[in-house]
C-alpha cells in the first residue's frame, strides 16, 4: 500500500489529523497490507499510527530534521524480517541530509528497506518516495536518481516502488521510471492479472469525489514479481475521505528465491 496521509497542519482548513487518524489506522488494519509506504508523515502522526497499528513496525527518517516529514515504511514483523534499510535525499548529493536540488521547494527523500518473507524465504526491496510538487525539473531528475539507487541498492532482487510522484502517467518522471533502458519498472495497475479496482485517479482534495485524471500515487514493480490485484481505495467515514489522497494497493507474488544483491 502507498498512502499520502496529508501532513498535519495546525491551521489547516481541511479536516485536522486528530479527526482523521482513527480512520487512517482503521483502513490500514482492515485491508491488512504487509508493507505500507506513507508520505507526509510527521513524528506525532507516526506515533499515533504506531499506537493504533500494533501489528506493525516502521523505519524511516525525516526529510529535514527528524521532526520533519517522513516517507516511512510500515511493515508486519510477524510476516517480514527487516534485513537493511536507509534513506537518501533526492538531490545531487543524496547522502547529505536536508539537501535539495533542481529547484525543489523542499528537501525530498526516499526511504528503502530490504525484507525477507519468513513464510517463503523470498525477498523484496521496497522504495517509498515523494517527488517535489513545485519543480518539474526536480521530479524528472528525482526519477533518474531513484532509478540509479534501485540498481545500486537492489541489484537483481525483486523491487516495489511506492509513492506520490506529483506527476500523472505519460509525464517525464513516469516515463523515466518505466523506461526499458532505465529502471524498467512496471506500473502495477497495468501489470495486474485482475482488472483494476476503483477509480484510476488517486487525488480527492478532501472533496466529495476523486478528481478525474488526477493519478499521482503509484506502485511499480521490477523483476520476478507477479501482480495479482491492484486498486485505488475510496473508503470514507460519514462521507469524508481520511486523506486528500486515496491509498493504492497491490497484491503481489514473488517468483522463486531472489538472488543476493
Q: What is the DSSP letter of 245?
A: B
Taking the CA atoms of 205, 113, 159 and 230 in sequence, report the sign of the dihedral they define: negative
Q: What is the pLDDT of residue 261?
A: 45
The band of 258, judged by pLDDT with boundaries at 50, 70 and 90, is very low
Indicate the domain borders of the chain: 2-254
The answer on pLDDT for 122 being more than 70 is: yes
CB 55 within 8 A of CB 34: no
Q: What is the pLDDT of residue 91?
A: 98
Q: What is the pLDDT of residue 79?
A: 96
Q: Are strands 80-89 and 73-75 parallel, antiparallel or unpaired?
A: unpaired
Q: Are strands 159-164 and 217-222 parallel, antiparallel or unpaired?
A: antiparallel
Domain 2-254: assigned CATH number: 3.60.10.10
The answer on pLDDT for 149 being more than 80 is: yes
Burial of 137 (0-12, 13-18, 19+ CB in 10 A): middle
SS3 breakdown of the chain: % helix, strand, coil, rounded to 5? 20, 30, 50
The proportion of the chain whose per-residue pLDDT surpasses 70, expressed as a percent, equals 98
**For all residues of the chain together, what is the average pLDDT?**
95
CA-wise closest residue to 157 among 106, 88, 83, 213:
83
Q: What is the pLDDT of residue 257?
A: 58
The answer on pLDDT for 250 being more than 80 is: yes
Spatial separation of the C-alpha atoms in residues 218 and 232, rounded to whole Å = 10
| C-alpha 163: how far from chain center | 3
Max CA distance (Å), the chain:
50
Residues 6+ apart with CB under 8 A from 259: 155, 156, 157
pLDDT in tens, 181-207: 999 999 999 999 999 999 999 999 999
The band of 45, judged by pLDDT with boundaries at 50, 70 and 90, is very high
* Through-space distance between the first and last CA atoms of the chain, rounded to whole angstroms: 24
The answer on pLDDT for 180 being more than 60 is: yes
Spatial separation of the C-alpha atoms in residues 249 and 1, rounded to whole Å = 4
The answer on pLDDT for 259 being more than 60 is: no
Selected residue with higher pLDDT from 236 and 14: 236
Q: What is the pLDDT of residue 47?
A: 98
Spatial separation of the C-alpha atoms in residues 113 and 82, rounded to whole Å = 7
Compute the average pLDDT of residues 13-39.
95
Which phi and psi angles does 20 have, rounded to 5°? -115, -20
pTM: 0.96
pLDDT in tens, 69-115: 999 999 999 999 999 999 999 999 999 999 999 999 999 999 999 99
Amino acid at each position: 500500500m502507498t498512502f499520502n496521509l496529508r501532513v498535519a497542519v495546525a491551521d489547516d482548513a481541511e479536516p485536522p489529523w486528530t479527526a482523521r487518524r482513527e480512520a487512517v489506522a482503521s483502513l490500514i488494519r482492515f485491508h491488512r497490507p504487509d508493507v505500507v509506504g506513507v508520505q507526509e508523515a510527521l513524528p506525532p502522526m507516526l506515533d499515533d499510527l504506531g499506537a493504533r497499528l500494533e501489528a506493525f513496525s516502521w523505519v524511516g527518517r525525516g526529510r529535514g530534521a527528524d521532526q520533519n516529514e517522513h516517507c516511512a515504511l510500515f511493515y508486519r514483523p510477524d510476516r517480514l524480517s527487516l534485513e537493511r534499510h536507509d534513506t537518501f535525499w533526492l538531490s545531487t548529493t543524496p547522502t547529505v541530509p536536508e539537501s535539495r536540488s533542481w529547484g525543489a521547494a523542499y528537501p525530498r527523500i526516499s526511504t528503502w528497506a530490504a525484507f525477507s518473507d519468513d513464510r517463503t524465504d523470498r525477498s523484496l526491496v521496497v522504495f517509498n518516495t515523494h517527488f517535489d510538487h513545485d519543480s518539474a525539473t526536480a521530479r524528472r531528475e528525482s526519477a533518474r536518481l531513484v532509478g540509479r539507487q534501485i540498481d545500486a541498492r537492489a541489484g537483481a532482487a525483486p523491487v516495489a516502488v511506492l509513492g506520490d510522484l506529483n506527476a500523472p502517467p505519460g509525464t517525464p518522471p513516469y516515463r523515466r521510471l518505466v523506461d526499458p533502458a532505465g529502471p524498467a519498472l512496471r506500473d502495477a495497475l497495468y501489470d495486474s492479472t485482475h482488472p483494476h479496482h476503483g477509480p484510476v485517479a488517486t487525488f480527492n482534495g478532501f472533496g466529495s469525489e476523486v478528481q478525474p485524471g488526477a493519478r499521482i500515487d503509484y506502485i511499480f514493480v521490477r523483476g520476478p514479481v507477479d501482480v495479482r490485484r491492484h486498486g485505488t481505495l475510496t473508503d470514507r467515514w460519514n462521507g469524508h475521505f481520511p486523506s486528500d489522497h486515496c491509498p493504492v494497493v497491490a497484491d503481489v507474488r514473488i517468483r522463486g528465491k531472489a538472488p543476493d544483491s
